[in-house]
Chains A and B, each alone.
Chain A
Amino acid sequence: QVRLVESGGGLVRPGGSLRLSCAASGFTFRDYYMGWIRQVPGKGLEWISYITETSASANYADSVKGRFTISRDNAKKSLFLQMNSLRAEDTAVYYCAVLAINGWSYFFDNWGQGSLVTVAS
């Protein structure tokens, strides 16, 4: 079955950097778009970024554009999120997810368990 395991979260100071990883298994990773979604504790879901199967293109939410970079290594079945210039408002649980595309539908059909990132001094 599909398994997504995030790692790399933790406490970081404002202005600092952090790199999240997501290890995928149970499906043909190289065939799927992948994405990151975050959730401030007690709040709603916010899409952050997605990347195409071959890394040909990526898209970002305005809230992280220019600060976060999504990447992937298909050989290692891994997804990454490099987060720079972190702010207190970036504090959230970050989920890795498979982005399924079916005609006009773009949806996340499998999710990891999440990794907590806390930005505080």
Chain B
Amino acid sequence: QSVLTQPPSMSGSPGQSVTISCTGSNSNIGTNYGVHWYQQLPGTAPKLLIYGDNNRPSGVPERFSGSKSGTSASLAITGLQAEDEADYYCQSYDNSVGGSLVFGGGTKLTVL
């Protein structure tokens, strides 16, 4: 059972938009600690997609954006492309029990 909750799967057609949710609590997302998102393409290592709630590293397309409100965060992907088919994970810091880094369970995005 992951500390951060994500939907196990989502799907969309090319050109559409999808939003992946990440729900936490007052000891992680509900604090000032940032929420970060990773993309893991099949058979590869995860790659940082969004950091600090809504910042894109260099090279990440503007189609990807992040937001946070209360104890939840979201990753929005607009203009869905076939190469966006991947697993997506949210991550934050949890200040309970000595502090730890926590991940969501991951969302498998299928591009129809």
Q: Could you tell me which A residues sit within 8 Å of B by CB distance?
A: 35, 37, 44-47, 50, 59, 61-62, 95, 100, 102-114
Name 19 A/B residue pairs within 8 A (Cβ), A-sorted. Answer: A37-B103, A44-B89, A44-B104, A47-B91, A47-B102, A50-B101, A100-B51, A104-B32, A104-B34, A104-B93, A105-B34, A106-B33, A107-B36, A107-B48, A107-B51, A108-B36, A109-B57, A110-B48, A111-B46
| Central interface residue in A50, A100, A112, by most chain B CB within 10 Å | A100
CB distance from A64 to the nearest CB of B (A): 11
B105 at interface, CB cutoff 8 A: yes
Instruction: Return the contact of A44 from the options B2, B34, B44 (Cβ within 8 A).
Output: B2
Residues of B within 8 A of A106 (CB): 33-34, 93, 101
Number of A-B contacts (CB under 8 A): 73
Q: Which residues of A contact B38 (CB under 8 A)?
A: 45, 108
**Which residue of A has the minimal Cβ distance to B44?**
A113
Complex interface bits, B11-34 against A, C-beta within 8 A gives 1, otherwise 0: 000000000000000000001111
In the complex, residue of chain A having the shortest beta-carbon distance to the beta carbon of B37: A107
Do A114 and B51 have beta carbons less than 8 Å apart? no
Residues of A contacting B31 with CB < 8 Å? 104
Bound: A47/B103 CA distance, A: 7
Whether, in the assembled complex, B112 has its beta carbon less than 8 Å from a beta carbon of chain A, the answer is no
Q: Are B52 and A102 in contact (CB under 8 A)?
A: yes
